[in-house]
Each structure stands twice: as C-alpha cells, then as structure tokens.
Amino acid sequence: MGERLAPHRPGRDDLRALFPVLAQEVNGLPLVYLDNAATTQTPLPVLDAVRQFEQHDRANIHRGVHTLSQRATEAYDEARRTLARFIGAGAAHELVFTSGTTEALNLVVHGLSTAGAAPAVLQPGDEIIVSGLEHHANLVPWQQAARRCGAVLRILRPDAQGRLRAQDLAALLTPRTRVFAVTACANATGERPPFEALLAQAADAGALTVLDAAQAVAHSVIDLSSLACDFMAFSGHKMHGPMGTGVLAGRRVALERLEPLRYGGDMVAWVTETEASFADLPMRLEGGTPNVAGAVGLAAAASFVDRTGRERIDAHLSDLRRHAAEGLAALPGVTVLSPDTGLTAIVSFVVDGVHPHDIGTLLDEQGIALRTGFHCAQPLLEHLGRGPTARASFAMYNTYAEVERLLAGVAHALKVLQ
C-alpha cells in the first residue's frame, strides 16, 4: 500500500489513475467531476486501507483481550494519531471521531447547552456569534441552543461582497459573548474569510471559538496549534476519505466542558444501577461502537493528501479556481460570487434570467457534474441578494482541461437558455 502513496502531482494522469471513479463516461462523454465541495472521490490507497482492515483486523475495539480486538484497537488509535498530526494538534489537544462535520458541530452545541454534573456552559442572556457565511450545520444547531438556553444569537454579517470584517466582529463582541463560530471557507460562495484573525479576536474577548474546517482540510494546511481555536470540525468525505466519517478536535480543556451527546458503552468509567461516571477524553465523547474502518480510511486519506502535498494542491486549486472564475465572468450575464477571494477551491456563479438548475441539467448532459441550489447556506445567499447558484468545486485530480470543458459547457448552456 505504501508504494502507491508516493507523491503525485495534482492534476496529472498518474494521480487521476488512483481514483477509479473518474475513469467513466457520463451521457457518452468523459466525466468531469466538479462537485468536490459536496463530496470528494476516494483514491485506491484509502479503499485498500479500509479493505485491509475489514479483511484482516475487523473486531470491536477496547473490549477484547483477543488478538483481532487488539489489532483493531491499535488501528483505531493509530488513525487518531495520524489525524492529530495532520491537523497540527499538540499536547493540549484531543481528537474525537464523529460521523462528519454536522455531528461534530452538534456535539459542541449540545455539549455547551446541556447541563450534566455541572450547569450548562450557555446560560440565559449569554451571547453566541455565528458568522453569516455558515453552512446550515454551523447555524441551525446554534439557533436551537440559543432558544433552549435563553441565549442571544448574533450574526456577523458579511459585507456586500460576502467578506467578513474584523471591525464588525469587534462591534458584536461583549463580555457576555460565550461562543464565536466561523467557517474556514464558505461553501456557497467560496469566500475564504480571515478566520485566523477572527478566531484570535474572539478568543481575546473571552469567547470559546469554533472553526468549521469542512471546506479547507482537503487542500489547505490547518494548524490547530497556531490557531486560537477551541473546537474544529471536518468531514472525511470532503477530503477523499470514507463517507460517514469526521472529526471534532480542539483544546482538551474546552472539550472537557462538553456534556456528552451519546451515553452508553465505551464512554463510562463505572456504572451503578442509578449512576455513572464518564471516561476521559476522547472516549467520553465517543459512546458506542465507532466506525473503525472509517477512521482507518480517513487516516489513509490524510496520509494521501499529505503525500501529494497540501501546498502543491492549494496552488493547483487556486490556479483552477482563478481560470474558472475569469472564464465564467467573461460569459454574458454571468456573475461570479467572491471573485477575488484568497485560496479556495470553489467557484459559485449566477446568470441573469437563468435558473442554475437548468445550467446544471445541461452540464450533466455533457458529462459535467456541478452542484446547484442554496448549498445549505440560504441566509448567506439571501443576504447577498442572490437566490440559488451554480457551484463548481475542484479537487487535486481536476485539470485545466476540465475547467475548459466547464467553460465551454456553460457557454453552450447559456446559448440554449438565454
């Protein structure tokens, strides 16, 4: 397996050959897969790692003295260590496996808004600030928590270009601010906010800080140790790992304040008929049998991304994004959202008088997969005065030639639709 993980250049054929799903035709034409912000594809080394675990080591973890259980436990622990290194977690951090970003964020929100042995962290009158760039997964749980706890939810709205500004955050922070939550990249627009500075600003004001890294981990180096970040969430399927995997990582002292979401086996220290005490982190937040094969696959995905090189991938993706954004903006009636943002792999656009679903359908007829709609970020698009958009998003295997096919495909669709 290791030999297959030799470095590959983004966009080159030898790298693409490791993603068998790409080598197919859709509607009679070679597939151009540009829906990576929704889900990335999985390379052979990740599939191999999952298969290897399932074929040789599958057993429940932590509970057995037998050899397979020990191997499974070691594989799971090793996956945790690999991912911790991947995100720059240090001695003061912990990493919890989840089913994805949504579960990770819900774990945080539930954990801060629920009383256990100690009162809930969020109390009536407390304030939560959520950026206006967020996916619904980093907004709706906070809405619910605010309602449950009598806390106040404030939105850090972006400017008319969809950018977040430090002075607007300064105006919202108060001594009652308990939480600030922001994304590393807006999935609906591709905007890359200055999240490092915003997190530091909120932490300085005494808030717990939450980073949604779902749209960054597949290509950008996210170094937890250099961020003022208490909680960070991401999904495996957006970084070439298995679906139904993800991570909540963060500062141990912050994670210890979370009331668990799932009570049951594996997360307890002792249990009587009437009471229980909980295990230490990370197991305290991982009640029940985890997705061990998924964790193994996710770690293999992190290794794969690292062998390809995140700086190289980032440079490749921003080239593709720039070419796509410029080419789309030159087409009649097309407006690209966040045209000048920093490193990002997402280009979202609207066309005067044309519904994005119609563009998406005509592109699919040409074998090109992109996503249309609100991208689970309806408040943001409405704030920007936009409705649904068409969104192309790139991964390490996409090529310049595929961007050309996208541009030609959209031009053709517009001729039909305009």
Per CB under 6 A, the segment of 69-77, 212-220, 254-262, 399-407 that binds ligand PMP is 212-220
Region of 112-120, 133-141, 195-203, 378-386 interacting with ligand PMP (CB under 6 A):
133-141
Pairing of strands 29-30, 346-351: unpaired
Which CA distances in Å does 98 have to 40, 80, 103, 249, 289? 18, 12, 6, 10, 11
Radius of gyration for the chain, computed over Cα atoms and rounded to the nearest angstrom = 22
Footprint on residues 351-410 left by ligand PMP (CB under 6 A):
376
Q: Catalytic site residue 229?
A: no
* Of positions 40, 73, 101, 114, contacts ligand PMP by CB under 6 A: 101
Please select the residue that binds ligand PMP; options are 5, 83, 145, 214, rule is CB under 6 A.
214
Supply the minimum distance, in Å, between the C-beta of residue 345 and ligand PMP: 11
Rank residues 146 and 211 by Cβ distance to ligand PMP and give the closer one.
211
Is position 102 an interface residue for ligand PMP (rule: CB under 6 A)?
Answer: yes
Task: Report yes or no: 380 and 387 within 8 Å, Cβ to Cβ.
Answer: no
Closest CA relative to residue 345, chosen from 196, 190, 239: 190
Token pair for residue 319? 């080239």
* Beta-bridge partners for 33: 369
Give me the catalytic one of 149, 185, 229, 376: 376
> Where are the strands (E) in 252-316, listed by range?
268-271, 276-278
Binding-residue pattern over the window 146 to 185 for ligand PMP, x denoting contact by CB under 6 A: -------------------------------------x--
Nearer to ligand PMP, 8 or 391 (CB): 391
Cα–Cα distances (Å) from 307 to 49, 75, 86, 159, 221, in that order, read: 15, 20, 11, 38, 13
Q: Does 135 bind ligand PMP (CB under 6 A)?
A: yes
Please list every residue from 284 through 323 that binds ligand PMP, using CB under 6 A.
none
Three-state DSSP class for residue 404: helix
Distance, CA of 379 to CA of 386 (rounded, Å)? 10
Cβ nearer to ligand PMP, comparing 122 with 186: 186
Q: Does 36 bind ligand PMP (CB under 6 A)?
A: no
Task: Point out which residues bind ligand PMP (CB under 6 A).
Answer: 37-38, 100-102, 135, 137-138, 183, 187, 212, 214-215, 235, 376
Kindly list the catalytic residues. Answer: 376
